[in-house]
Amino acid sequence: MAKLSDTKIRNAKPRKKAFKLYDEDGLYLIVKPSGARWWRVKYHWRGKEQLLSVGVYPDVSLATARQRCQDTHKLVANDINPSAHRAQKKVAEREAAERTYEAIAKQWLELTGRGRKWTADHIERVRRRQEVHAWPWIGAKPIAEVTDADVLACLKRVVDRGLLDTAHRLRADTHAIFAYAKKWKLILHNPVADLRDADTLPKLKVTHNAAIKDPRAFGMLLRALDAYPGSFVVRSALKLQALVFARPGMLRAAQWSEFDLDAAEWRIPGAKMKMGEQHIVPLSRQALEILRDLYPLTGPDGFVFPQARNPSRPISENTLGSALRTLGYSADQHSAHGFRSSASTMLNESGKWHPDAIERQLAHGERDKVRAAYNSAQHLVERRAMMAAWADYIDTLKAGGNVVPFQRAG
């Protein structure tokens, strides 16, 4: 019987029923009524005839099909069942796909984020660092095959872009991912363990958020906020930030559903908080005035401080900082985050308030869970008084003149 040729295969017209075109060594092509052409290899195993699919023409050429036919018969000659061999190979490939660096990184992120009660924003930041700076180069590799050189190359690319802080965070995340893989016996050695920050990356300079802590200078800043020439929404956000000194990200993402103006409370959901627990911000009379003035414009639903062009999104993370620059305050003088340091310094220096009450208002987490639960309730009354007194105090600073001592609210 003449062997097949590409010309013969192409000229074979489909019929009402499928038919076979034979080559040699048990290789043949099935031509189906639809026109599809499937390669099959016939072999014998333990005295029984077996069939194995080896691809579809023309994706699998005649030459490739013949090679696969030979490989099939070699397996039989070595007492290996080709069908069982293929099944085992598929299982191995599936397991390999499930053990790539990217797959294990996603497992680690899901379990760690849930276990440590990370916020959705934090989980997304960690995932995004991996997606941009690691996965394109090492994501598809089996995690057991990723070397310290591979990781170092990823880190170097980030450093070369000038993203030193990101590089340090990426190294820490990657180290944790490999530690997770080692714990579950997926690797024998953590390749990042030898990549110490001091030896691998340029030293990260410790920077602090610039803040005005002198009362007179802070009063000048408050007067500048009142005169901000930009939008009413941004001016309101700046003024409220001075009063509540929340994390800027919390303020800009605040939604009206979180506020109870009658109860004078802003309850930030645990899902948004760094420590995963609901945070209560008592609202002073001055804070309520700002919110009630803003309510007709941006309420009753959605973001308290929406973007002008896209109300479905909050003002960007750079908005408050840019507004301060507009007012003449450089990043080295005062930042949006600096309102927290300003308030913390002046509240602590007054000596009028329990340090734990100040820390709770700043939403700094307690290491002692029992103490944290106690302080959450115990200091709420004091924090209400403190926030009212703070608002009255900065009113006096804004008015100018002599700086009066910080008094406890009556």
DSSP-based three-state secondary structure for 282: strand
User: Domain boundary at 60, 89, 118, which?
Assistant: 89
Within a domain: 410: no
| pLDDT level of residue 146 (50, 70, 90 thresholds) | very high
Cα torsion angle, 62, 65, 70, 76, sign: negative
Within a domain: 65: yes
Distance CA 28, CA 319 (A): 69
pLDDT tens-digit series, residues 300-310: 999 999 999 99
Assess whether 300 and 360 both reside in one domain: yes
- Residues annotated as catalytic are 247, 274, 337, 340, 364, 374
**DSSP assigned state of 278:** -
- Give the lowest-confidence range in 200-209, 212-221, 273-282: 200-209
Assess whether 69 and 167 both reside in one domain: no
Looking at residue 410, its pLDDT comes to 42
Assess whether 243 and 344 both reside in one domain: yes
Within a domain: 228: yes
Distance CA 108, CA 102 (A): 10
Question: What secondary structure does DSSP assign to 171-213, as a single string?
Answer: HHHHHHHHHHHHHTTS-SS-TTTT--HHHHSPPPPP-------
Within a domain: 305: yes
Distance CA 216, CA 400 (A): 8
**DSSP assigned state of 268:** E
Assess whether 271 and 379 both reside in one domain: yes
Within a domain: 252: yes
Number of domains comprising the chain:
3
Q: What is the mean pLDDT of residues 382-406?
A: 85
pLDDT tens-digit series, residues 280-289: 999 999 999 9
What is the domain-level CATH number for residue 251? 1.10.443.10
- Give the lowest-confidence range in 12-21, 111-120, 152-161: 111-120
Q: Are 209 and 333 in contact, with CB atoms under 8 Å apart?
A: no
What is the domain-level CATH number for residue 176? 1.10.150.130
Assess whether 316 and 344 both reside in one domain: yes
pLDDT tens-digit series, residues 53-101: 999 999 999 999 999 999 999 999 998 888 888 877 776 667 656 689 9
Beta sheet of 259-260, edge-to-edge order: 259-260, 265-268, 279-282
Assess whether 289 and 249 both reside in one domain: yes
Beta bridge partners of 56: 38
Assess whether 269 and 299 both reside in one domain: yes
Looking at residue 317, its pLDDT comes to 83
Report the percentage of the chain scoring pLDDT > 90. Answer: 63
- Assess whether pLDDT exceeds 70 at residue 170: yes
- Assess whether pLDDT exceeds 70 at residue 367: no
Distance CA 330, CA 107 (A): 42
- Assess whether pLDDT exceeds 60 at residue 364: yes
Predicted structure pTM score: 0.53
Looking at residue 374, its pLDDT comes to 44
Q: Are 262 and 292 in contact, with CB atoms under 8 Å apart?
A: no
Assess whether 264 and 359 both reside in one domain: yes
- Assess whether pLDDT exceeds 60 at residue 221: yes
Assess whether 279 and 345 both reside in one domain: yes
Question: Which residue range(s) make up the domain with 12?
Answer: 6-89
Within a domain: 14: yes
Within a domain: 85: yes
- The mean pLDDT value of the chain amounts to 87
Distance CA 88, CA 101 (A): 22
Assess whether 278 and 322 both reside in one domain: yes
Q: Are 298 and 305 in contact, with CB atoms under 8 Å apart?
A: yes
User: Domain boundary at 68, 89, 110, which?
Assistant: 89
Q: Are 290 and 239 in contact, with CB atoms under 8 Å apart?
A: yes
What is the domain-level CATH number for residue 75? 3.30.160.390
Assess whether 179 and 225 both reside in one domain: no
User: Domain boundary at 165, 200, 235, which?
Assistant: 200
pLDDT tens-digit series, residues 324-350: 999 999 888 999 999 999 999 999 988
Neighbours of 105 (CB within 10 A): 26
Within a domain: 314: yes
Distance CA 181, CA 109 (A): 12
Assess whether 315 and 335 both reside in one domain: yes
